[in-house]
A and B are shown apart, each in its own frame.
Chain A
């Protein structure tokens, strides 16, 4: 798990650095999961081969942890032919169905019913597959969320809804837009309305996330239906790079806590709780890893992702007329 966390962090930091080191290579809107690694890795450690998942436009971490080639992922984000999706989707639309990563939606909340449909397919197939459905706090205010949870509970679908609550929907704080948060209650309270278990877990602790998700996965696999897991995380980067028309160089602004709300201490406290050094401390203290071994893992992740950047930069752009290749199946 620690290795996967390091790989995700390293990948995301390289994506972010690309904006300054190689201006113009990344276009559009890119969303990073640095800070959210423990939640991603802890969740994915709770499933087995054959299980499936769907996620949002903040999607780089999941395929990395599933074993997708980081070269292909970086090339996709750079819009290259060698990209995971041939340069058609970019950062927001990674998919690797062969590894169970069915896909993403760039529209908030809309992958939730789709993941519920994947779970319906799994139920019909009857092979004991479980589906993980990742989304953010903002998405839980979509009708699609509420409609899906109702049906999933009603039909006892084998799905675990993992609400990664990073406290901000873009630049809006959760207590400004969520009735539970405004009332000082956890967002997992929403599960009560749909008669399913709702738990809230420290998303910066991969072991805690793993335990919560594993319990939910076991319940789903046993045919007992869905669970809502609220994983409390903090993304260290802003919602995304700046939104600007062509010609304006893109970059990542400061996190909204600082940029919009002036809550510097909140952000710094979150950084002090960075899940990577925290988990490293646990592993070293418990004798699972030595400091030297942890450093080696970090160096190896850095080398791997530096190679991914090189691969992406050296790969060719697609031919223009390839634009029409997948207009229909």
Chain B
């Protein structure tokens, strides 16, 4: 059974369900559980649910330590950029411990943060900064695009024995969709084919999945059949689903809200150029954010971020091109 939930409600449900199922799951962070009415505090008590000061290094470091000591902390960080304050813990501590201990230590930690808030939040709160975490072995990176995936991927993240960066998209907060009731886990490393098609493959993540779907609907009116793939997790990345699609369509447009050289798109392009070169009938096209700090003012913000028009334009371009054979 499923019912309609908002993205944010689906996330809360996953935390709640996993905390109910497993008493080693902890939930702490900034600006949560400040009153007795807080639903998590009321349900699970102050041993397991706590507000923290604005102290990211300590919050995340405490999360790493509690994970090493047998708990499964979910650290609420609000905004992905706040993690940058604690970069050592995120990049050079949590994901290193398991290997350095020869497998003797595990860090089952979830770092939960919002990202991509291109709604006038200016330079320091709008970033799609997952790119800088993609090259960190041992750190999984999750980008849910739908309410169902928001629940299912968070469930899996909490159960995973590795540190997981769970990035929820701020622009999707109030989007609704069918969400399965009860236990629901979406495996990592399995892409979703969000819309099947045969002429061109569009790979997108998070909020841009919806922009890509809107573009695909417009393209369908022109008789162009676009397949939209959402990798859902970018580390691990489901290369096979993308390659199968490109084998079918021969054309690939990569949409990413991150800046070009810090994007998942760049990683996928490199994978496809190595493992799928023979399938490509046209050069791969990127639709990423432009390489600049995002400005506050709306026209400038919109200019740098991928949108439906840019995706449609890119698809038309790759369809017009043909690699000389």
**Chain A positions near chain B (C-beta within 8 angstroms):** 26-29, 76, 79-80, 83, 87-93, 105-110, 138-139, 141-144, 169-173, 176-178, 244-246, 248, 260-261, 317-324, 326-327
- CB of B295 within 8 A of CB of A323, answer yes
- Is B193 on the interface with A (CB-CB < 8 A)? no
- A321's partner among B56, B296, B297, B303 (CB-CB below 8 A) is B303
- CB of B171 within 8 A of CB of A318, answer no
**Chain B positions near chain A (C-beta within 8 angstroms):** 30-31, 34-35, 51-58, 81-82, 84-85, 117, 119-125, 170-174, 290-304
- CB of A28 within 8 A of CB of B297, answer no
Apart from A27-B119, A92-B124, A321-B303, what 7 extra A-B contacts exist at CB < 8 Å?
A29-B125, A89-B122, A142-B56, A143-B58, A172-B53, A177-B54, A323-B290
Give the complex CA separation of A105 and B173 in angstroms: 25
- CB of B297 within 8 A of CB of A139, answer no
- CB of A28 within 8 A of CB of B51, answer no
CB distance from B204 to the nearest CB of A (A): 18
A sample of 29 inter-chain contacts (CB < 8 A) reads: A27-B121, A28-B119, A28-B120, A28-B121, A28-B122, A87-B296, A87-B297, A88-B122, A88-B123, A89-B296, A92-B122, A93-B123, A106-B123, A107-B81, A108-B54, A109-B54, A143-B58, A144-B85, A169-B54, A176-B51, A244-B119, A244-B174, A260-B35, A318-B300, A320-B302, A320-B303, A322-B300, A324-B292, A327-B291
CB distance from A316 to the nearest CB of B (A): 10
Q: Report the nearest B residue to A108, measured CB to CB.
A: B54
Give the complex CA separation of A90 and B125 in angstroms: 12
B56 contacts which chain A residues (CB < 8 A)?
A: 142
Q: Report the nearest A residue to B82, measured CB to CB.
A: A107
- A178's partner among B53, B170, B301 (CB-CB below 8 A) is B53
Number of A-B contacts (CB under 8 A): 147
Q: Report the nearest B residue to A105, measured CB to CB.
A: B124
- B296's partner among A27, A142, A177 (CB-CB below 8 A) is A27
Q: Report the nearest B residue to A80, measured CB to CB.
A: B297
B123 contacts which chain A residues (CB < 8 A)?
A: 88-89, 93, 106
CB distance from B12 to the nearest CB of A (A): 16
Q: Report the nearest B residue to A322, measured CB to CB.
A: B300
Give the complex CA separation of A146 and B218 in angstroms: 55
A29 contacts which chain B residues (CB < 8 A)?
A: 120-121, 125
Q: Report the nearest A residue to B300, measured CB to CB.
A: A323
